[in-house]
Amino acid sequence: MPGGGRCPDCGSAELVEDSHYSQSQLVCSDCGCVVTEGVLTTTYSDEGNLREVTYSRSTGENEQVSRSQQRGLRRVRDLCRVLQLPPTFEDTAVAYYQQAYRHSGIRAARLQKKEVLVGCCVLITCRQHNWPLTMGTICTLLYADLDAFSGTYMQIVKLLGLDVPSLCLADLVKTYCSSFKLFQASPSVPAKYVEDKEKMLSRTLQLVELADETWLVTGRHPLPVITAATFLAWQSLRPSDRLTCSLARFCKLANVDLPYPASSRLQELLAVLLRMAEQLAWLQVLKLNKRSVVKHISDLLQHRRTLVRKAFRDGTAEMEAQEEERQGQGQGQGRGKEEGGSSSLDLSEEKRGASPALLLPPCMLKPPKRIRPTPSVSTVTGDENISDSEIEQYLRTPQEVRDFLKAQAARQAAVSVPNPP
């Protein structure tokens, strides 16, 4: 219905009422100019003071979410639904993404980092709720680089000031081993290699706890240790059929990647089992090796705590005996060197290498080589000769310059005089 007055732009009198966001306003039907604007109450302060503001000054106009942020929020929700997380997890992850996006460094970051940010918010939420989820799983779903993901993860935790607990080792074992394709028969897995999931998880957890008690986990990435423990658990359940299977083939059958240090962790875990086997009387006569000890893992794990304690006690006593022997031989060290024999330190190292049964942390069994400092090539005393090409920079007064030129001319004159026949 036309209203009174004229349009300030075109002068037309065809003004009509138009409802915009449930607010009435007059609009020119000829040119579309808004003659009078509706009013909105949008902020707590305005509501408290009973004041109204126009739509152009309202929060509905000023607090629009950018397309990049909208896309990130959708990706957070989609990732939570793919992982089948509870609805409360989704709300928390969305809130973390919104908090991180308020920082200018995140808003100006590249699209790849914003995609990684989606996974970081979901992983932080799962860690805080003790939900077993690994960083590698999210990187696989997002096709993200693990190093870039871990760097962004630490940045967000520090930026938001969050307290994120580390993932429990037992939960990590359950999550990681559940993805193995060895729990049901398939054309790619022979029947003799199929194993019950609960039996395999139970024995793997015991072996991982054993590795933790013997310092094989401390300061190291847990996945190689878990991979080695899972392989030994799988072999020990049916050793007659599986001892010929290698670690690489096992990972291929399980459809998991073989971490590079897993072979080293496997050898260290076998060495611990051999040391424990020396404490059982009925196993001492069998002369076990790293291959045959797998058949007796069940007995070793049954008496795990007692055997580990005895192995530590015997290892400590053996180290004390070696220390006393080294001190006794230290008195004749000089005479041994003169006769061409080895020093006490060499003897100690030979015995340590010949007796790998010592149950000690890996850093003590294989200590890092110390780099000896190289002696300085020359020591400056201040009495060194100064060459003619460098002496000019030491001359300060005109008298010193004259004396230098005089001495140089005298030396040249002495050189030019021929020697008498």
Cα separation, 256 vs 364, whole angstroms: 32
pLDDT at 356: 43
pLDDT at 347 over 50: no
Task: Write the pLDDT tens digit of every residue in 178-208.
Answer: 888 888 878 888 889 999 999 999 999 999 9
- Quote the longest CA-to-CA distance of the chain: 135
Cα separation, 173 vs 225, whole angstroms: 10
Q: Hey, what amino acid is at 273?
A: L
Which is higher by pLDDT, 258 or 49?
A: 258
Average pLDDT of the chain to the nearest whole number: 78
Would you say 180 and 256 are in contact if contact means Cβ atoms under 8 Å apart? yes
Task: Report the percentage of the chain scoring pLDDT > 90.
Answer: 29
Q: Are strands 2-3 and 34-36 parallel, antiparallel or unpaired?
A: unpaired
Task: Write the pLDDT tens digit of every residue in 169-186.
Answer: 888 888 888 888 888 878
* Mean pLDDT of the region 96-109: 88
For residue 217, with 0-12 CB atoms within 10 Å meaning exposed, 13-18 middle and 19 or more buried, which class applies? buried
Would you say 262 and 228 are in contact if contact means Cβ atoms under 8 Å apart? yes
Task: Write the pLDDT tens digit of every residue in 395-411.
Answer: 667 777 788 788 878 87
Going from the C-alpha of 211 to that of each of 64, 91, 173, 206, 237, the distances in angstroms are: 54, 38, 13, 9, 19
pLDDT at 201: 93
pLDDT at 52 over 80: no
Delineate the domains of the chain, giving CATH numbers in brackets. 67-167 (1.10.472.10), 170-310 (1.10.472.10)
pLDDT at 320: 66
Which is higher by pLDDT, 77 or 401?
A: 77
Considering only CA atoms, give the Rg of the chain. Answer: 39
Residue 267: partners with Cβ closer than 8 Å, 6 or more residues away: 290
pLDDT at 62 over 50: no
* Residue position matching structure tokens 């051999």: 274
Task: Report the percentage of the chain scoring pLDDT > 70.
Answer: 69
Which is higher by pLDDT, 314 or 373?
A: 314
Dihedral of CA 140/142/145/147: which sign? negative
Task: Write the pLDDT tens digit of every residue in 9-42.
Answer: 677 888 777 665 555 677 777 766 777 765 554 5
Cα separation, 359 vs 213, whole angstroms: 11
Q: Hey, what amino acid is at 28?
A: C
Q: Hey, what amino acid is at 44?
A: Y
| Three-state secondary structure of the chain | CEECCCCCCCCCCCEEEEEECCEEEEEECCCCCEEECCEECCCHHHHHCCCCEEHHHCHHHHCCCCHHHHHHHHHHHHHHHHCCCCHHHHHHHHHHHHHHHCCHHHHCCCHHHHHHHHHHHHHHHHHHCCCCCCHHHHHHHHCCCHHHHHHHHHHHHHHHCCCCCCCCHHHHHHHHHCCCCCCCCECCECHHHCCCHHHHHHHHHHHHHHHHHCCCCCCCCHHHHHHHHHHHHHHHHCHHHHCCCCHHHHHHHHCCCCCCCHHHHHHHHHHHHHHHHCCCHHHHCCCCCCCHHHHHHHHHHHCHHHHHHHHHHHHHHHHHHHHHHHHHHHCCHHHHHHCCCCCHHHHHHHHHHHCCCCCCCHHHHCCCCCCCCCCCCCCCCCCCCCCHHHHHHHCCCHHHHHHHHHHHHHHHHHHHCCCCC
Task: Write the pLDDT tens digit of every residue in 254-283.
Answer: 988 898 889 999 999 999 999 889 888 888
pLDDT at 348: 41
* Mean pLDDT of the region 60-77: 75
Is the pTM of the predicted complex or chain greater than 0.85? no
Give the Cβ contact number of residue 70 at 10 Å. Answer: 11
Would you say 221 and 203 are in contact if contact means Cβ atoms under 8 Å apart? no
Cα separation, 56 vs 66, whole angstroms: 18
Cα separation, 187 vs 416, whole angstroms: 100
pLDDT at 60 over 50: no
* Mean pLDDT of the region 110-135: 89
Give the Cβ contact number of residue 128 at 10 Å. Answer: 15
Cα separation, 150 vs 164, whole angstroms: 14
Task: Write the pLDDT tens digit of every residue in 245-255.
Answer: 999 999 999 98
Q: How confident is the model at residue 352 (pLDDT cuts 50, 70, 90)?
A: very low
Cα separation, 173 vs 167, whole angstroms: 10
Cα separation, 415 vs 420, whole angstroms: 13
